[in-house]
Every structure is written in C-alpha cells, then in structure tokens.
C-alpha cells in the first residue's frame, strides 16, 4: 500500500515524543499490513516517553512507539496463508526466531533472540503497522477494538496469575497499575478464595474494589504484613502476584507469603533489591519470573476467559482518546489516575 500515515514517534533520545507523517510500512512475503483501529498505552511506552534509564540503554531512535493494538488486515504478503484481508487481529508482540531450542520446545516467550514491537521494531502508535503473519492473533470481529487491543497486557496478568494453582487459593496482587487491576479481575474470574489488592494510589484502589478485590490495603496507611496475616488467619497468602517492582513491597511480600507459597514476579525493579535468600529457602517458596505471554497457550486462556463471561474488563478501560492526544494519555499514566488508556488513530472519522 502506498501513501503516508500519522504516527507517534520517539524522534530523539530525550523526554517526549512527536506526532509526524511517515510512509506506510512495506511488508515482506510473510508479513501483513494492519490498519490500527485501537492501541493502548503500556507502562513500557511511558518509560520510553519519559526516557528513563532503561529506555536510554534499549531504544534506538527514531522509533514508532506502541505495541498493544487491534486492527484490520488490509494487505498480506505473497507467502501468507493463515491470515486474510479483512481479518481483525491483535498481535503477540514478541517476535521470536522460531528455530532455537527454546522456541521448538514450547518456551518461545523466552527466546533469546526476541524482538519486541514498539521497542526493537516500529510499533502501533500510528494508522498502520506491519507484523509477521505468525504474530497475528485473529479475533472475533464482534468485540469492540478497545477490548481486543488490551489482550496483550491482559495476557501478562493471566500468565502471572495462572502460572501455578490458583483455584481456592488466596492471592495478594501487589501494585494495581493497569496489569495489576487486570490480575485482580483474573483472580476473581478463576475462583481464587480471597483476593487482596495492595496499592497506594487512591484512584487505582477504587478500580481494584470495582473489579472485585475482597481486601484492599494501602501501604501508606497500614502495616501491610500485619494486615495480610490477619486476613489469612496468620498463615499468609498462597500466591503473590508481584506487579510493582517496588523493593519494599517485594521484601514485605516475602514476609507474608505462606510456607510453600508461590511468588510470580512481573514487576521490574529500577535497581537491585536486597532479599533474604535464607528466609526464602526455609519457607520452601517458589519464585517464578514472568515474561510476556506463553506462545500461544496464554492467548487461548485469554480467549476462553473473555468468552466465558466471567471476566469483566470494562472498568479497566478508563480513558479513550484520539491518537493526537497521546500527551494527555502519557500524563494520565504518570499520575496513576487511570486504568488502560486507549488511543484511536481515526477517532473522529
């Protein structure tokens, strides 16, 4: 397809981003071109926008930002066989080699040669995006695109919560940013016995309550360890879903996790965290690092949860903005007074 498109791009290695016009991307023989209908802002996008230490080491500018999206396929490469023009798709954002020992043994989500859309390649904050056919997830077209575009981060929450036994288990969700509040909803949908949400931002505390958290604890107002133990008859929680990356929160979680419990860690600390290894050993706990979504097991789990009607994600999408108002979206992310912020490249058309 010939022509130009508007995109939000990290033009220079400094804070911020700009809205510019760029050529519509060309596709290779195994690629598809997608017209973006909706794209949501991830914490990673905000890291890139704010140009933090991680971004400075990882991002090569210029780079079109964004990776969570849903859109319509408008062109396909000559060797594409599974996806057709008109399909409504989302994307698994980890582009992997497909050949290494990890990829061929069901561990593609940790392929050592992974490239990430919007990080290592141009992303979805624009009118069009080109992706490999194998990364396309074909959606039910009757579902609104703003719900379809959040399946990728929802997959992170599903992977975190379901990386071990959860039915009938108590769980603490530590950090109720967009993926954390999704984890609250997922835990409720799959019959966790008690869901404890731990969060400092009042806006997100209310979201956690709306999504079904049985107990909400603000660490700025309460002793988290004492309260969690009170809520679990002194035993501690069976599962910790660590979404915050906060050093103190991680250290506290290791105190209130139950003997033999599971700690699934998705949050990324900004610096090294000192932890009591001996305490972990004698508690007999499992620590599981969560990377993205299992390809494609997690996508099928997400699909099943959405189809079941048990998972309510409507309250998670709190703001809908035209792509041109991306700066407002980034400010909302900075303040924490939002759930998922969805951008629409052609909202007013």
Active site residues: 44, 47
DSSP state, residue 235: S
Dihedral sign (CA 329, 46, 240, 155): positive
Measured CA angle at 201 (ends 227, 344), to 5 deg: 135
**Closest by Cα among 313, 10, 338, 348 to 182:** 313
The Cα–Cα gap between 74 and 71 comes to 9
* Cβ-proximal residues to 324 (8 Å cutoff; 6+ apart), any chain: 6, 19
The Cα–Cα gap between 314 and 169 comes to 25
The answer to whether 43 touches 178, Cβ cutoff 8 Å, is yes
**Closest by Cα among 343, 268, 289 to 68:** 343
DSSP state, residue 160: H
Burial call 80-106: b when 16+ CB within 10 Å, e when fewer: beebeeebbbbbbbbbbeeeeebbeee
The Cα–Cα gap between 151 and 302 comes to 7
DSSP state, residue 28: -
Burial class (CB in 10 A: 0-12, 13-18, 19+), 74: middle
Q: Give the Å distances, CA to CA, from 134 to 30, 92, 120, 155.
A: 8, 9, 17, 17
Over its C-alpha atoms, the chain yields an Rg (Å, rounded) of: 20
SS3 297: helix
- With residue 34 as reference, give the H or E element that holds it: strand 31-40
The answer to whether 65 touches 48, Cβ cutoff 8 Å, is yes
């Amino acid at each position: 397809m010939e022509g130009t498109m508007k995109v939000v791009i990290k033009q220079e290695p400094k804070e911020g981003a700009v809205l510019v016009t760029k050529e519509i991307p060309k596709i290779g023989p195994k690629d598809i071109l997608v017209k973006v209908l909706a794209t949501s802002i991830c914490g990673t996008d905000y890291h890139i926008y704010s140009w933090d230490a991680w971004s400075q080491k990882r991002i090569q500018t210029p780079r079109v930002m964004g990776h969570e999206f849903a859109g319509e396929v408008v062109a396909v490469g000559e060797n594409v066989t599974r996806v057709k023009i008109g399909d409504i798709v989302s994307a698994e954002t980890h582009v992997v080699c497909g050949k290494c020992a990890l990829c061929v043994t069901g561990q593609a989500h940790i392929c050592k040669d992974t490239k990430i859309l919007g990080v290592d390649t141009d992303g979805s904050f624009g009118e069009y995006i080109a992706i490999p056919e194998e990364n396309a997830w074909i959606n039910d077209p009757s579902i609104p695109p703003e719900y379809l575009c959040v399946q990728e981060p929802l997959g992170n929450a599903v992977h975190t919560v379901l990386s071990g036994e959860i039915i009938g288990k108590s769980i603490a969700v530590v950090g109720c940013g967009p993926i954390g509040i999704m984890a609250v909803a997922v835990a409720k949908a799959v019959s966790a016995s008690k869901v404890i949400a731990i969060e400092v931002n009042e806006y997100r505390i209310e979201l956690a309550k709306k999504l079904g958290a049985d107990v909400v604890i603000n660490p700025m107002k309460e002793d988290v360890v004492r309260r969690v133990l009170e809520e679990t008859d002194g035993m501690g929680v069976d599962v910790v879903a660590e979404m915050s990356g906060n050093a103190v929160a991680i250290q506290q979680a290791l105190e209130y996790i139950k003997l033999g419990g599971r700690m699934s860690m998705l949050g990324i600390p900004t610096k090294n965290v000192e932890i009591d290894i001996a305490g972990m050993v004698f508690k007999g706990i499992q620590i599981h690092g969560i990377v993205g979504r299992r390809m494609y097991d997690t996508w099928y789990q997400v699909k099943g949860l959405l189809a079941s009607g048990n998972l309510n994600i409507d309250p998670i999408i709190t703001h809908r903005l035209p792509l041109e108002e991306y700066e407002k979206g980034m400010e909302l992310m900075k303040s924490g007074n939002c759930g998922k912020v969805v951008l629409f490249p052609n909202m007013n058309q």
